[in-house]
Structure 1
Amino acid sequence: MRPAVVALALVLSGWALSAQSPAPVPSGAQQPTFRADVALVTTDAIPRDQDGRFVPDLSKDDFIVREDGVDQRIDAFVLVHGGRTFNLLAPPQAAPEGIVLPTSRRPVDTGGSGRVIIIFIDDLHFEVDYTPHVRRLVQQIVDNLLHEGDLVAMVSSGPSAIEIEPTADHRLIAAAATRIRGSGPSPAEIFRMLESSSGPGDIRFRAQVAFQTMYSMVGSLDQVRNRRKAVIYVSPGYDLDPFAEGRKGKDRIMGGRFGDPMKALIDEENPYFRLSGVRADADLFLLMQELTLTANRANASLFTIDPRGLAGVVDTGQYVDQSEFRTFLQKSTSSLRFLAEETGGIAVVNDNDFAAALKRIDAETSDYYVLGYTSSNPDPRRRVRQLEVTTKRPGVTVAARRSYSLKTPGTPPRPPAPPRTKKK
């Protein structure tokens, strides 16, 4: 992690804390006390009718929230509709003895508070040829997604060195697009990489850097309340063991890695060079799982966008078999689908109409309810908890996150140094 990225996360966290500061108590009034041992769990819920339209007239009694199959009592209920926030039910407060607090609140319109949006450019993974596409995509994000009142931050994972602190000036986001430059390896470059126990070249290290950047950024959103939190995740996805058969000399184009007959023999006899293939999918799942747990804990949704658009074939000059390339596409896009679906977001993959996709994301993040409850399960050993949000109204379906996790001490480990390679 670069120090500037860490500073950006701290700025966003500091803004979040200041944004939710309580209103001053009038002189002579006694400040009620709060229970420190109870944490309010919040989740965004988007109910839609059979025609796909948002349903704005539901009450808290219309919703059913279950944690691990157990019904929960809704203590906080906020509606955001048409850019305006309505606090329909405040969470209960524990008052000192002798003080009686009101049991309910009148609906209060707090005005258009906007959304909190983080734009993540994973330039460590998309190839340099896709640079113009990603630059146009960022401009489309500014034109079709961002609105007045939205607080937007932007960060890149690699050499583009983009680190824009949370700002309401969206012109800074558009101006930063000119600095974007992809540095992801092409299939031909992957074939030329030296192998190690961690796989080809620095493939695994690049993924660890990208995920570590997102851990810090998404984790800083944990303190933001009553705002829709969205992460626009621009990346072609991940595969920690790409083109495995071709690299082992079994592809049908080049007869192996540049026709080297010794490569297959080395791979078969030396398990050191097969270890990466055994661990690749499991290690990638752990990276993605920790990020989705962090996002769900912060009640933030990941909206993943593949800048490759609709892709199906690759130039034969890349030295990779077409069927193996399709497998690579399937694995990388599946990683993007996992990140989005596990956090209640949308995966824009195999799609060239980015403008329409961004308008859909805008609709998903503009109209929603925020439901809050105090978990009935106090056991801290139950870290990951399943959520289910439904409604009693017939014909209405609800899109919401499916799980959340309790916060544990410490942070995800820093990525290790790039692996040392060994010639064969």
Structure 2
Amino acid sequence: MRQSKTVTAFLVLTAAVSLAARQSSTSQPQQRPTFRSGTNLVLVDVYPMKDGRILQNLEQTDFEVFEDGKPQKVENFQFIKVEGRAPEAEKRDPNTQEEGNELAADPKNRVFVVYLDTKGVSIEGAYRSRRPLVEMLNRIMAPNDLFGVVTTEMAPAQLVLGRKLLTTEDMLARYWPWGQRGSIMRTQEEQNLNQCTISPTTNKEMYVDDRGIQRRMIDVMIDRLREDKALEHLESTITYMSGLRQTRTALIVFTEGWLLFQTDLGLLTPLQVFKSYDNTPAIGTANGRPIISTSAQAGSGAACLREMTRLAMLDNRTRYNDLLRRAARANVVFYPVNPIGLTMFDYPIWQDATPTMPTDPNQEPKMLLVEQLNRIKDRADGLLQAAETTGGIAVVNTNKIESGLDRIAAQLEAYYVLGYYSTNQAFDGRYRQISVKLKVPGVQISARKGYTAPTKAEMAAMDAPKVVVAPEVAAAETAKADALGMLSRIRGSAELYGAGVQTKTGEV
């Protein structure tokens, strides 16, 4: 009970602070290169790695940049080496969410977003991750770096970027029980599913075959519902972050992974019992006689069929692939971290799970442990795919997540920024693919994958005369900013709540 109250208090506090973020949030455009005076300057951040470290001392002539296969002339070149950590007292947080987003657009400022998959991490995983996460942030955060924390319980547009770590360290230490995977607690939507998994003919829970294992239908459907919502939130996060900056945004995702459910027609068979209940009223008359039904399914057969059919027909594998391609295009790089470490069990201990007996007497039933290991492997494979597709590093299948976080820090300790003016002067709103080659052999590079060109209408809007704001309106906006500035002094909780390309050797 004490733990529940603690988490509730945390959510209330973070919701209050996130209100300020909502007041200052503005709609973010899709990722666009920076355009100045009618010319399109495109920035490309490049991370050349050799022996686990960034290769330094490279020259501008060592790089070749191509847009849609056509060579581009590199006009701007800069090597950025991350400075050492500054004392917290010397760091200055942005006063508003808008100011933080403006600072994020500067390629010299690195941006880290910690993504907490609350429904996808167990309470044990949340506990194990808190100290390594803080230590990694302490190690990699330079004076001008920005970071924020997003959870699946918030809208991505509530992300607030800041620089100070002390308050966030305290929040992570005090409110570590954020992991909810395997919890018996259910949302209202999940509770509503329960009536759809109780047979109206027997009034008993229905069981289904789930990859060779007999499980309660409610558990299977809640797994699908949670993954559906997790991917939906990730999609929204990628969309929001794609408008923040041209150069890399590091998305450090704490999750135990996803199974990426696909269509399972076998889940539809038990649902046919609801068809006869489509027109049965809970209270009313039938054949001229009054009735009061005691069935939980009365009047809800059609609704059950719709939602359960939707969940059974999910194709999350295709959806996940599309999500990662979008992230790569937006230069949002995944650094997935599975904090639970090595384990042999995937099902929560309180759930029923027994092997399905095969109809063929000569066939052996599937071993429960084998299926659990298969599920763990599927989750890890998805996280590895996320890192490979976007150019990041995955920390999976290890009890020492600190060493994995060290590898992430090493990749981000320095980088090169190349700037070129595109030879394609068309404002057509189309995606343009960027590739970078390095003349130095034996080097693995990760770089920006591409960008979306602006349209003629967007260019016209950028060239339109600026609107002069009346003094009284400007004063009101200043007062609003000052109020948000005051809130930013307690923004630690806002920081916590506040929100297919493979790399090749020498080419990306």
TM-score by length of 2: 0.55
RMSD: 4.6
Q: Report how far residue 63 of structure 1 moved.
A: 0.5
1:322 aligns with 2:343: no
Distance 2:414 2:323 in 1: 28
CA deviations over 1:383-417 (Å, ceiling 9, x no partner): 4444322211233332224444457999xxxxxxx
Structure 1 pair 186–53 and aligned structure 2 pair: CA distance change class (3 A): same
1:157 aligns with 2:152: yes
Q: State the match for 2:336 in structure 1.
A: 304
Kept in 2, the 8 Å contact 1:305–1:347? The answer is: yes
Q: How does 1:331-410 map to 2 (within 5 A)?
A: 331-378=378-425, 383-406=430-453
User: What SS does the corresponding residue of 2:76 show, helix, strand or coil?
Assistant: strand
Bigger share in helix: 2
Q: Report how far residue 211 of structure 1 moved.
A: 1.5
Q: State the match for 1:65 in structure 2.
A: 65
User: What SS does the corresponding residue of 2:334 show, helix, strand or coil?
Assistant: strand
Kept in 1, the 8 Å contact 2:119–2:226? The answer is: no
Q: State the match for 1:89 in structure 2.
A: none
Q: Report how far residue 123 of structure 1 moved.
A: 0.8
Q: State the match for 1:41 in structure 2.
A: 42
Distance 1:231 1:175 in 2: 21
Distance 1:284 1:4 in 2: 33
CA deviations over 1:226-266 (Å, ceiling 9, x no partner): xx532211122223538969x859xxxxxxxxxxxx84987
Distance 1:35 1:213 in 2: 32
CA deviations over 1:358-382 (Å, ceiling 9, x no partner): 2211121121101222333456668
Q: State the match for 2:114 in structure 1.
A: 119
1:229 aligns with 2:249: yes
Aligned length: 343
Q: How does 1:137-286 map to 2 (within 5 A)?
A: 137-158=132-153, 165-177=160-172, 178-180=174-176, 181-185=178-182, 191-192=215-216, 194=218, 202-212=225-235, 214-215=237-238, 217-222=240-245, 229-241=249-261, 248=267, 263=270, 276-282=311-317, 284-285=319-320
Structure 1 pair 45–201 and aligned structure 2 pair: CA distance change class (3 A): closer
Q: Report how far residue 282 of structure 1 moved.
A: 4.7
Q: State the match for 2:7 in structure 1.
A: none
Structure 1 pair 381–77 and aligned structure 2 pair: CA distance change class (3 A): same
Q: State the match for 2:98 in structure 1.
A: none
Q: Percent identity among equivalent residues?
A: 24
**Gaps spanning 5+ residues in structure 1: where?**
15-20, 22-32, 85-111, 250-261, 411-424
Structure 1 pair 172–138 and aligned structure 2 pair: CA distance change class (3 A): same
User: What SS does the corresponding residue of 1:166 show, helix, strand or coil?
Assistant: coil
Kept in 2, the 8 Å contact 1:13–1:221? The answer is: no
The letter of the residue matching 2:384 is R
Structure 1 pair 399–328 and aligned structure 2 pair: CA distance change class (3 A): same
Q: Report how far residue 332 of structure 1 moved.
A: 2.5
The letter of the residue matching 1:132 is Y
Distance 1:319 1:242 in 2: 22
Kept in 2, the 8 Å contact 1:68–1:386? The answer is: yes
User: What SS does the corresponding residue of 2:171 show, helix, strand or coil?
Assistant: helix
Kept in 1, the 8 Å contact 2:47–2:414? The answer is: yes
CA deviations over 1:65-102 (Å, ceiling 9, x no partner): 22333222222212112539xxxxxxxxxxxxxxxxxx
CA deviations over 1:27-58 (Å, ceiling 9, x no partner): xxxxxx9433x433322212234x44433222
Distance 1:64 1:352 in 2: 40
User: What SS does the corresponding residue of 2:335 show, helix, strand or coil?
Assistant: strand
Distance 1:302 1:167 in 2: 20
Distance 1:149 1:359 in 2: 20
Q: How does 1:5-16 map to 2 (within 5 A)?
A: 8=21
CA deviations over 1:337-366 (Å, ceiling 9, x no partner): 333223221111212222112221112112
Q: State the match for 1:131 in structure 2.
A: 126
Q: State the match for 1:256 in structure 2.
A: none
CA deviations over 1:204-240 (Å, ceiling 9, x no partner): 4521453255236523422x66xx5322111222235
Kept in 1, the 8 Å contact 2:216–2:352? The answer is: no
Q: Report how far residue 274 of structure 1 moved.
A: 5.8
Structure 1 pair 183–209 and aligned structure 2 pair: CA distance change class (3 A): farther
TM-score by length of 1: 0.64
The letter of the residue matching 1:309 is G
Kept in 1, the 8 Å contact 2:41–2:422? The answer is: yes
Distance 1:145 1:7 in 2: 28
Instruction: Indicate the structure (1 or 2) with the bigger Cα radius of gyration.
Output: 2
Distance 1:12 1:266 in 2: 48
Distance 1:77 1:10 in 2: 38
Q: State the match for 1:80 in structure 2.
A: 80
CA deviations over 1:10-36 (Å, ceiling 9, x no partner): 96989xxxxxx9xxxxxxxxxxx9433
Kept in 2, the 8 Å contact 1:11–1:165? The answer is: no
Kept in 2, the 8 Å contact 1:128–1:183? The answer is: yes
Distance 1:7 1:209 in 2: 24
Distance 2:147 2:414 in 1: 18
Q: State the match for 1:88 in structure 2.
A: none
Kept in 2, the 8 Å contact 1:120–1:155? The answer is: yes
Kept in 1, the 8 Å contact 2:112–2:147? The answer is: yes
User: What SS does the corresponding residue of 1:301 show, helix, strand or coil?
Assistant: strand
Distance 2:160 2:146 in 1: 9
Q: Report how far residue 201 of structure 1 moved.
A: 6.3
Distance 1:46 1:130 in 2: 30
CA deviations over 1:261-281 (Å, ceiling 9, x no partner): x849879xx997565444323
Structure 1 pair 11–271 and aligned structure 2 pair: CA distance change class (3 A): closer
